[in-house]
Structure 1
Amino acid sequence: MKAARDRRASRWDDHRRTRRAELTDAAVAAIRRHGAGVGMDDVAAAAGTSKTVVYRHFADRTALYLAVCERVAQVLLGQVRAAMDGAAGPRAGAAAAIAAYLRLIEHDPEVYRFVAHRPLVERAPGADPLADLVSLIGDQVADVIAEHLARVGADPEPAVAWGHGVVGMVRAAADNWIARPTGTTKDELADHLTALAWTGLSGVVGRTEEETP
């Protein structure tokens, strides 16, 4: 009897995970259709159900918001990692990471605004998912810089500060780009940011190499 109950519980858990994923997909579709100011009625309509059913799977609006953030984070982090892994050298890696970040914003501007502006959340949640995501990307960039420093025999300790500094710069520029468009294209902005980031990185990396005995 216990084994039968365990199997039923497992099937129910699988069903809930599947349904949550479907409702998260519906939320993303509603955001794309209605914009970042989407409401729960819009999400329920996109899912072909009622708000009561949505709340059955998400405790509140913040829970649904966080689920969408997690989905965006998975996609963006995967794209950044793939772009950097396929790059030839640290400059190409920085350029690839910047391009991947901007590409998602250009492809899904309303989804990005939704994540950044938190329209479904009445009060700020305990953590900022976008900041957490940017921090993860900063770790990836820092790893690439540290590997380069290690290869040239330099101290990799500054890599964390440099990696997170570059990613923070990109986020600020990207937020401004989407909030106050000036006609600058994604590729132009990526080139500008790569040039600025690499000028700074190449200068400090070069100095670090010179100081290495």
Structure 2
Amino acid sequence: MTDAENPGGQPVVADGRSVRWVRHREERRASLVDSTIRAIRRHGAGVGMDDIAAEARTSKTVIYRHFDDRAGLYRAVVERVDERVVGDVVAALKRSTATGTDPRELISSTVGAYLALVESDTHLYRFVVNRPMVDRPLTDDPVGATVGHVTDQLARLFEASSSDGDVTAAMWRVRAVALVGAVQAVADEWLASPGRVPRAELVESLTEFVWRGLAPVLSSQPEVAAPAVEERR
């Protein structure tokens, strides 16, 4: 409502029915995302809209009413996965910083958190990464947003643990991008391997590989307190 429509400047109280309707739509969208994720886990990453509608016990028309198209539903699923991925990684980082863990262990816990998700929810991971429901380029990249959130957290913690004042914040972010990209590539290859190595062994191997590149500029026991880990909202 504009000032002209509300000349008295009094607070505008939303109609109770409209508030309930908005809440109902939000709850319905969340329920449809839940159904989509169940369908993905049941039918695999190549799940179809008919499978999703059957899981939700509704019609494709109703689903499109809430998400416009398949890309809209895909974005909503990625947002849900984003909350879980970033939440798991942030929890790992918090545990590391709270206990004064050295940077190598911080890297290990972060890699481990990501690979644990990949292994425990393989179909959902492939659905998000391979985008089977999206048949056109997206102007926004929901997966890129998730990667960016994790990268930002790592870059800040690396910088706080640095023993080399010549390394700029921008370069720490570059190294965080390299770590996240490496873990993603390894995860894809690992999932495709018929006789893949145990996750714990892979985490140790990847951590050692990354640590050899970062160790010269990271303190073994950081003297500076790590910055507060940013919560997702």
Verify same fold: TM over 0.5.
yes
Letter in 2 for 1:189: L
Equivalent of residue 52 in structure 2, options 37, 43, 50: 43
Shift of 1:12: 0.7
**The 10-residue stretch of structure 1 (13-22 or 86-95) with the greater mean CA deviation from structure 2:** 86-95
Deviations along 1:172-193, whole A, 9 cap, x unmatched? 1111111234321211111111
**Could you tell me how far apart the structure 1 residues matched to 2:166 and 2:55 are?**
52
**How many correspondences in the alignment?**
203
Q: Does 1:11 align with 2:23?
A: no
Task: Specify whether residues 16 and 156 from structure 1 end up closer, same or farther in structure 2 by C-alpha distance, changes over 3 A only.
Answer: farther
**Is the CA contact (8 Å cut-off) linking 2:46 and 2:127 kept in structure 1?**
yes
3-state secondary structure, aligned to 2:15: helix
Counterparts of 2:110 and 2:128, CA distance in 1: 19
Please state how far the C-alpha of 1:153 moved relative to its aligned partner. 6.3
Letter in 2 for 1:187: A
Distance across 1 between alignment mates of 2:144 and 2:69: 21
Distance 2:185 2:21 in 1: 43
Deviation at residue 25 of structure 1 after TM alignment: 0.4
2:34 matched residue in structure 1:
25
Shift in Å at residue 199 of structure 1?
Answer: 1.1
Structure 1 residue 66 corresponds to structure 2 residue 66? no
CA-based RMSD of the aligned residues comes to 1.8
- Could you say which residue in structure 1 is the equivalent of 2:226? none
Alignment CA distance shift 1:4-1:159 (3 Å):
closer
Contact 2:164/2:218 (8 A) holds in 1: no
Percent identity, aligned pairs only, is: 44
Higher relative contact order at CA 8 Å, sep ≥6: structure 1 or structure 2? 2
Q: Secondary structure at the match of 1:14?
A: helix
The question of 1:98 aligning with 2:107 is answered no
1:166 pairs with 2:179: yes
Question: What is the alpha-carbon distance in structure 2 between the residues aligned to residue 80 and residue 197 of structure 1?
Answer: 17
Residue identity opposite 2:51 in structure 1: D
Match of 1:184 in 2: 197
Alignment of 1:154 onto 2:165: yes
* 1:15-51 Cα shifts (integer Å, max 9, x gaps): 1110000000000000000000001111111111111
Given that 2:161 and 2:218 are in contact with CA atoms closer than 8 Å, whether structure 1 keeps it comes out as no
* Residue matched to 2:206: 193
Structure 1 position 5, deviation (Å)? 6.1
Question: TM-score, normalised on structure 1?
Answer: 0.89
Among 89, 95, 101, the residue aligned to 2:102: 89
Partner of 1:138: 151
* 2:161 partner SS: helix
Cα deviation, 1:65-104, whole Å, max 9, x if unaligned, reads: 0110010010010000010110112111111110010001
What's the counterpart of residue 79 of structure 1? 88
Structure 2 segments unaligned to the other structure (5+ residues): 1-11, 220-233
1:93 and 1:144 in contact (8 A); partners too: no
Contact 1:85 1:93 in 2 (8 A): no
Q: Which stretches in structure 1 are left out of the alignment for 5+ residues? A: 207-213
TM-score, structure 2 normalization: 0.82
C-alpha displacement at 1:109, in angstroms?
Answer: 0.2
